[in-house]
Structure 1
Amino acid sequence: MATIEVPVLIVGGGGCGLSASVFCSDHGVEHLLVERHAGTSTIPKAHYHNQRTMEILRQHGLHEAVAEQAAPVERFAKVRWMTSLAGDGAPDGRVIYEMDGFGGGPLRDRYAAASPALPSRLPQNRLEPILRRRAERDNPGRILFGRELAALTDEGDRVVAEVRDTATGETTEVVARYVVAADGGRTVGPALGVRMRGLPGMRQITTVHFSADLSPWWREGAHMTHFLNPYNPGLFCNIFEMGPTWGKHCEEWVIHFHLPPADAAKPGESGESGERGGPGGSGERAALPGEEAVVRRIRDVLGLPDLDLTLHGMTSWTVQGLLADRYRHGRVLFAGDAAHRQPPTVGLGLNTGIQDAHNLAWKLAAVLTGRAPDGLLDTYEAERRPIGRHNIDWAVSAAAHNQAVLGAIGLGPGVPAERRERMFAAYFDPSPLGAAGRARAAEMFATTRGGYQAHDVEVGFAYDEGAVVPDGSPPPHREPLRDVYRPTTRPGHLLPHAWLERGGRRLSTHDLTGSAAGFALLTGPAGTPWCEAAAQVAEKLSIPIRTARIGAGAEFADAEGTWEAVREISDDGAVLVRPDNHVAWRSTGGGENPAGTLADALSRVLHHDDSTR
């Protein structure tokens, strides 16, 4: 048996694992990635990439390649509820309600002010090839598809894995210092006894990927369109554009059928045909309906009985709300669906996984280069597991609330068939009573913004402990529905974005850190002592620290006055920023011993006082 020795083994070549590979390469971390499937995902599952994820892709030079294929935010500015696309009945082809969402429409200016990047939409079957090409370019010969993990043993000072070639059966031994488990929880977690706890089966969904020309009937500009059938409660579903053309002439679509309990097959009756699981946190697949039944159901939902369509694939999956009981087990670190599985509501699944990998990569680099002890990796769980818990809870809550709103206005899938036509007729009644009903419904629909305008969930999260030095300041006020993001330099939070200018070049505060720059120290115009201290500390600790004095007379101009408005420090204060653009430490003013203060802060961030393993 051949043996490969490598600092890091990444198990799983989906969106999270491939992202981890790209980030590790950018940080100079040698690694091997293995993926049991022969290729990237064939299912266009996760497709919304929120603002924080797009910032990360921008930081690692992937934004342009993704944006070239993705739908820009103006193409998915609405969430829409409809009865059908067409039909001959009075309630057919009607818009029930629509609202702005995901940074589009009137929300765009607020989102644009918060970040150098806007959200985008690109299905995972198109995103993963982009990530794979970049991963293979940066780590040639070490991105191995068609390789499954056969065994894994943590020996304390190293991890020994057996990897099997799925085509030939040949087995290779891989010896690594650390393993990143991004395998969806299929192999590594069960092998080590790491359990997923929470809600294992919330709902059964059948996802269908198909092609059809819907241009004569399609209403453009929606991120998703929910269909509430006036005649049949079992036809509750939502549909999404999947490109490659976006808008009226979109060629491919995905439709999710939310099956009532009577239609949901028992777990374990698998209809799998080699494809991967469904969107978000998917559990065991259930038996799939026949193609004729699915085609008939799509036509019924859309109100187009003669629609010509082509099925590309179907998968049934279980909506779950599960969190791993730990994110670190010895030398194994869990990320993505191996650590958390949540409903697709709010679109947090893949986004959270990519952000896991981003948090982990710079820490692995610091430990493997000897700049930090092994204990720094404990901060990965301390920081990311609470975020995983929050995002699961938020998605579960949003999903339940959406259902409750529909039920409260009498249009949900729980309304008996014999009452449905009457309820829908009353909703669209042109009388003053009908207008009053629609006004009440509009106020209730507006509360779903916690799922569709969750800006503060996407970029406002913070690390209360971990690789940060708290300063005792209170967190900013958060709106209950998390629809308003308030930037802050409080340690643990994402560095506020502000446009700067230097030598005629325009750049974001987010551009001051990253894999090449390492840490950054941002100060006011009177922050020269802090900048001088940073040079001393960088040399002493062998850690790159980029400095930036920002403001009047400084080398970086505050292009729009944004930095002064959000910095929360005086002209002689300083903000220390980690490679992942989270604030590590700050001083609101000057200090008597800037070099000693900064060295102590950075040592605490990197856990230099921790005993090594």
Structure 2
Amino acid sequence: MTDLSADVVIVGAGPVGLTLAMELDRRGVSSLIIEKRRAGEPPNVKCNHVSARSMEIFRGLGIADRIRATGLPDDYPHSVSYRTTVTGREITCVPIPSRAGRERGDPGPDTDWPTPEPPHRINQIFLEPVLFEAALERPGIEIVNEAKVTGFTDTGGGVTVSIERDDGRTFSASGRYMVGCDGGRSEVRSAIGAKLQGDAVVQRVQSTYIRAPGLIDLMDGPPTWGMFAYNPVRTGVVYSIDGRDTWLIHNYLKEDEADFDSVDRDWAIRQILGVDDDFSYEILTREDWFGRRLVVDKLREGNVFICGDAAHLWVPYAGYGMNAGIADAHNLAMHMGGVFAGWADPSALDAHEAERLPITEQVSHFAMNHAHEMARKRKAVPPEIDDDTPEGAAAREKAGKALYDLNVQQYCCAGLNFGYYYEASPLIVRDGTPPPYSMGDFTASTVPGARLPNVRIDDEQWLYDVQGTGFALICTDPESEVESLLSAARAAGLPITLIDLPDAPEPYGKALVLARPDNHIAWRSNKVPTDPTALIDRLRGVRVPEAVR
């Protein structure tokens, strides 16, 4: 096979690698993706949730509608219910509208998102083909399937990659940079000497993907996207994959169940579903796994980077394993795009690690703490929870309130989507401290480092749509003089758009707010700085004094 080249070589064509390639292509940067699986081979049944922030990113790529049209049927509820068993009594429910329900404006705690792109429930087996097809449509992306990276050399000026096809043929590829998006067992991570640190085992889960066409007919109430079985014998969760016949079952092992084989799989499945031995189902795949909280000590070695599960592994609460990886890709593509376009200094790439590592550490603790709290709840299921008695009803009411209050944060997690900020970035001019955030809540802010509050511009467009792939200078005061700042940006080749927003909402407390291409705020003030060039150089990664204002 002929040797290949691209600006960036990406290892892994999962959601993170494909998103990175499309974000780079959007910025005029070519990429070559090396993927072990054959073209069209489905992934494992993993992530079931695309966050609102990820959907905003997919909107920028022009594929949000394609993703939202895929997954569960239009009217299948995206709600999460807690039941004695999947076919038993409902204890509580977090009501989340279906795809059609969102369009109708159905109520629920998951409906007041400050964005045109709320989250979407879709399993990775449906998401990934959409991303793969969209990537193939882009001229700057080439994907080589059924191939693996066998080694690479960082020459200082670029990376040379050795590749072997499944049929034994070998070839090489070269790029300015290489990015390992090759999952939790990342060989790229090992090769650059990055070490995972944290908690190796938070929980153990026996996971089974089944086909059970008759399950919905046995349910005591309408099916929901996620159904937790909460009883003293067995606790677990069942996710609807296609809204009809296929289901993913997670059986949470207890502390005294030392290994995955210590629990009979069929028995546990039947206890979680609440069915007897006459009920028939088919096991499609099984994948037992450890819930972990592990984050690498570095994201880069020279010209080689890692993203996604290669960089962080944690308990998949709130669906934030994949979604954090998509945010990694979006951030890295911005920095790399700036370097290739010439407006960013190569040293700006150091900001990727300074920005993303603290966030992955924060999110990993949110997920782990939630996992520990749910484990405590599972150990304390009242024995009378399913009794048809006043005591049973009281137990269900008490447990229902506790389960709802804890888990509405996970499934309506605005804080994890929009609350985080880049406090330690060398490319951001500090001015105040963004408000604290939790898994479920945040306060919109224009403090540098925070996410730019997205607001509606007209019937068709929101602020991010107008911003595009460049910087945006948001001007809320028509009297502000901004030409000197715009001129300094253009002189440095920095892509920038002036957006007048005279009726800006409350978070826009300053006359001028400058946002980066990744929609995070870089600077704000009531007037242009006395030395606009120094500010622009700061944003480009050129070292300047801290006191830029």
Q: Same fold (TM over 0.5)?
A: yes
How far does residue 304 in structure 1 lie from its aligned partner after superposition?
A: 2.4
Name the residue aligned to 1:84.
Answer: 85
How far does residue 174 in structure 1 lie from its aligned partner after superposition?
A: 1.6
Name the residue aligned to 1:278.
Answer: none
Name the residue aligned to 1:272.
Answer: none
Name the residue aligned to 1:173.
Answer: 172
How far does residue 440 in structure 1 lie from its aligned partner after superposition?
A: 4.1
How far does residue 297 in structure 1 lie from its aligned partner after superposition?
A: 3.9
Name the residue aligned to 2:514.
Answer: 576
In the superposition, relative to structure 1, how do residues 146 and 346 fare at CA in structure 2: closer, same or farther (>3 Å)? Answer: same
Q: Secondary structure at the match of 1:18?
A: helix
**Deviations for 1:254-288, whole angstroms, at most 9, x for unmatched residues?**
111122356554xxxxxxxxxxxxxxxxxxxx779
Name the residue aligned to 1:524.
Answer: 476
Q: How does 1:312-461 map to 2 (within 5 A)?
A: 312-408=284-380, 410-411=381-382, 420=383, 423-424=384-385, 429-430=389-390, 437-445=395-403, 446-461=405-420
**Deviations for 1:2-45, whole angstroms, at most 9, x for unmatched residues?**
53332211011111111111111111111111011224433221
Q: How does 1:181-220 map to 2 (within 5 A)?
A: 181-184=180-183, 185-213=185-213, 214-218=215-219, 219-220=221-222
**Deviations for 1:455-489, whole angstroms, at most 9, x for unmatched residues?**
112211110122543343132243xx442221111
How far does residue 110 in structure 1 lie from its aligned partner after superposition?
A: 2.3
Kindly indicate whether the alpha-carbon contact (under 8 Å) linking 1:72 and 1:120 is maintained by their aligned counterparts in 2. Answer: no
How far apart are the structure 1 equivalents of 2:92 and 2:122?
Answer: 25
Query: Aligned letter for 1:170?
Result: R
How far apart are the structure 1 equivalents of 2:450 and 2:268?
Answer: 46
In the superposition, relative to structure 1, how do residues 354 and 511 fare at CA in structure 2: closer, same or farther (>3 Å)? Answer: same
Kindly indicate whether the alpha-carbon contact (under 8 Å) linking 2:198 and 2:293 is maintained by their aligned counterparts in 1. Answer: yes
How far does residue 48 in structure 1 lie from its aligned partner after superposition?
A: 0.4
Kindly indicate whether the alpha-carbon contact (under 8 Å) linking 1:205 and 1:316 is maintained by their aligned counterparts in 2. Answer: yes
Name the residue aligned to 1:514.
Answer: 468
**Deviations for 1:233-260, whole angstroms, at most 9, x for unmatched residues?**
xx321001111xx3xxx22211111223
How far apart are the structure 2 equivalents of 1:73 and 1:349?
Answer: 26
Name the residue aligned to 1:47.
Answer: 48
**Deviations for 1:535-563, whole angstroms, at most 9, x for unmatched residues?**
41243011221111122xxxxxx4xxxx2
Kindly indicate whether the alpha-carbon contact (under 8 Å) linking 1:73 and 1:120 is maintained by their aligned counterparts in 2. Answer: no
Name the residue aligned to 2:444.
Answer: 487
Q: Secondary structure at the match of 1:33?
A: strand
Instruction: Give percent identity, aligned residues only.
Output: 26
How far apart are the structure 2 equivalents of 1:74 and 1:380?
Answer: 40
Kindly indicate whether the alpha-carbon contact (under 8 Å) linking 1:46 and 1:124 is maintained by their aligned counterparts in 2. Answer: yes
Q: Secondary structure at the match of 1:489?
A: coil
How far apart are the structure 2 equivalents of 1:460 and 1:145?
Answer: 37
Kindly indicate whether the alpha-carbon contact (under 8 Å) linking 1:17 and 1:182 is maintained by their aligned counterparts in 2. Answer: yes
Aligned partner of 1:253 among 227, 233, 247:
247
How far apart are the structure 2 equivalents of 1:463 and 1:315?
Answer: 35
Aligned partner of 1:95 among 90, 98, 116:
90
How far apart are the structure 2 equivalents of 1:438 and 1:298?
Answer: 22
How far apart are the structure 1 equivalents of 2:37 and 2:46?
Answer: 16
Name the residue aligned to 1:463.
Answer: 422
Kindly indicate whether the alpha-carbon contact (under 8 Å) linking 1:468 and 1:492 is maintained by their aligned counterparts in 2. Answer: no
Aligned partner of 1:543 among 489, 494, 511:
494
**Deviations for 1:219-243, whole angstroms, at most 9, x for unmatched residues?**
446341111344x3xx321001111
Name the residue aligned to 2:4.
Answer: 4
Kindly indicate whether the alpha-carbon contact (under 8 Å) linking 2:36 and 2:148 is maintained by their aligned counterparts in 1. Answer: yes
How far apart are the structure 2 equivalents of 1:403 and 1:483?
Answer: 19
Structure 2 gap segments, 5+ residues each: 545-549
Instruction: Say which is worse superposed, 456-465 or 309-318, in terms of deviation.
Output: 309-318
Instruction: Say which is worse superposed, 191-200 or 47-56, in terms of deviation.
Output: 191-200
Give the TM-score normalised by structure 1: 0.81
Name the residue aligned to 1:603.
Answer: 537
Q: Secondary structure at the match of 2:305?
A: strand
Kindly indicate whether the alpha-carbon contact (under 8 Å) linking 2:78 and 2:121 is maintained by their aligned counterparts in 1. Answer: no
Q: Secondary structure at the match of 1:301?
A: helix
Structure 1 gap segments, 5+ residues each: 87-92, 266-285, 412-419, 552-557
In the superposition, relative to structure 1, how do residues 288 and 49 fare at CA in structure 2: closer, same or farther (>3 Å)? Answer: farther
Query: Aligned letter for 1:222?
Result: T
**Deviations for 1:559-584, whole angstroms, at most 9, x for unmatched residues?**
xxxx2322112xxx211111111111
Query: Aligned letter for 1:546?
Result: T
Give the TM-score normalised by structure 2: 0.90
How far does residue 179 in structure 1 lie from its aligned partner after superposition?
A: 0.8
Q: Secondary structure at the match of 2:449?
A: coil
How far apart are the structure 2 equivalents of 1:590 and 1:73?
Answer: 49
RMSD, aligned CA? 2.6
In the superposition, relative to structure 1, how do residues 351 and 486 fare at CA in structure 2: closer, same or farther (>3 Å)? Answer: same
How far does residue 295 in structure 1 lie from its aligned partner after superposition?
A: 4.6
Instruction: Say which is worse superposed, 459-468 or 10-19, in terms of deviation.
Output: 459-468
Kindly indicate whether the alpha-carbon contact (under 8 Å) linking 2:85 and 2:230 is maintained by their aligned counterparts in 1. Answer: yes
How far apart are the structure 1 equivalents of 2:343 and 2:267?
Answer: 61
